[in-house]
């Protein structure tokens, strides 16, 4: 069975702040242009965690706000999501913190592809 190119597959996107975009692009460039990309692991992990937070906020919390589910449900969802994102953040930091040059550059390429 032939595989579809990424450009022809369906996708979802989320919007995030201009500041986060600027910092993301700066971090990616720093890694891609560095002779020692592993020095930037923490910065990449920070960006990945922020992008995860922004995505979950956009896809879940903002959707609840638009659905007008009420304060109690929205607060419960926010608290639960914060706990889940804290765990995800720890996992992201642990994984990126162990990556080598090739792997970091691959992650940078993936993030750039998501940003198109």
Domain positions in the chain? 15-114
pLDDT tens sequence across 18-60 = 999 999 999 999 999 999 999 999 999 999 999 999 999 999 9
Q: What is the CA radius of gyration of the chain?
A: 16
User: Where residue 9 falls among pLDDT bands split at 50, 70, 90?
Assistant: confident
User: Where residue 64 falls among pLDDT bands split at 50, 70, 90?
Assistant: very high
Secondary-structure percent of the chain, ordered helix, strand, coil, rounded to 5: 80, 0, 20
The answer to whether the pTM exceeds 0.85 is yes
Q: Which residues fall within 8 angstroms of residue 13, CB to CB, at 6 or more apart?
A: 114
Q: What is the pLDDT of residue 1?
A: 47
- Measured at the alpha carbon of residue 96, what is the angle toward residues 26 and 51, in degrees to the nearest 5? 50
């Amino acid at each position: 069975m032939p595989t579809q190119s990424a450009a022809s597959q369906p996708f979802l996107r989320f919007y995030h702040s201009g500041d986060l975009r600027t910092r993301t692009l700066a971090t990616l460039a720093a890694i891609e242009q560095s002779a020692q990309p592993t020095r930037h692991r923490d910065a990449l992990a920070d960006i990945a965690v922020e992008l995860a937070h922004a995505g979950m906020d956009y896809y879940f919390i903002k959707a609840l706000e638009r659905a007008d589910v009420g304060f109690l449900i929205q607060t419960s969802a926010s608290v639960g999501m914060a706990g889940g994102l804290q765990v995800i953040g720890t996992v992201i930091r642990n994984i990126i913190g162990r990556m080598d040059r090739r792997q970091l550059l691959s992650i940078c390429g993936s993030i750039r592809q998501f940003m198109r």
